[in-house]
Copies of this chain bind each other. A is one copy, B any other.
Amino acid sequence: MEKSYESIKNYIYGKNAILETITKNPKRINKIFFSQGINFDNKLKKINELAQKNSIIIQFTNLNKFNRLLESEGKKINFQGVVASVSPVEYVDFEEFLNTKTNKFRKIVILDGVEDPHNFGAIARTLAAASFDAIIIPKHRSCPINSTVEKTSCGAINHISVIKTNSLPSIVDTLKKNDWWIIAADGQSKDNYFDISYKDMNFAIILGAEGEGVSKTLLNKADFKIKIPSNFESLNVSAACAVIVYESIRQIHQM
């Protein structure tokens, strides 16, 4: 599949995030920086071993210099002894994704205005856990895929295809023309998320930003609008995502 590249932020940190990336996608890693004088635990040993196996340059250094590069905004980052310089995230082309032949139904999530990296990372982690096929985000009003996303997602961002688009409405139109079903989260809906069936179909779940929700244009295009019943406020968007995604998994498991 052809990839388009975009330069965003070129460092990741944390043992789990780096171990995940070097295992799954070693070509993304340009160089690994270990903290000077660090004791290698099992995870760091594994990273070191895989770096050598994949001919990745290793350097021992004072990691504090990465605080500035990672734009930590004065917050002290716990690097866990290791930082990696990486190639920017690889985005998947939508048309190619759509036209990939598969013999199973596919499931994706569309994020309409979710800009918080913690939420984005948590959502990527849930989608990887649930074997969803892709996540679609708009070029504007979306979260940059940076080291916070990479760490919060525990590296899950490498396990799922990310598609970036100039126009969510036209993506949704194309999906519909190709027999995908569009499900939008909408607090005003009469139907609960468990009132609809997710079985035997390709579907996309659209989630909006907290407070604003999914935009009217996309709501109007949706085949189903669903809510999560609540006696307080709406759920946090990553919690809402987990609830809806796993309801689809439950239904498919219990077929």
Contact = CB atoms under 8 A, between A and B. Distances in A.
B254 A194 contact: yes
A229 B243 contact: no
B76 A234 contact: no
Given A75-B73, A194-B254, A228-B129, A156 B233 contact: yes
A106 interface: no
Given A73-B75, A76-B74, A232 B194 contact: no
A192 interface: yes
A122 interface: yes
Contacts of A229: 249, 253
Contact of A239 (B192, B234, B238): B238
Contacts of A240: 242
A235 B125 contact: yes
Nearest to A249: B229
A159 interface: yes
B232 A156 contact: yes
A74 B159 CA distance: 34
Contacts of A230: 129-130
24 contacts: A74-B74, A74-B75, A74-B76, A125-B232, A125-B235, A125-B239, A126-B235, A126-B239, A128-B232, A129-B228, A129-B230, A129-B231, A130-B231, A154-B232, A154-B233, A156-B233, A192-B250, A228-B246, A229-B249, A235-B242, A236-B238, A239-B241, A242-B243, A243-B243
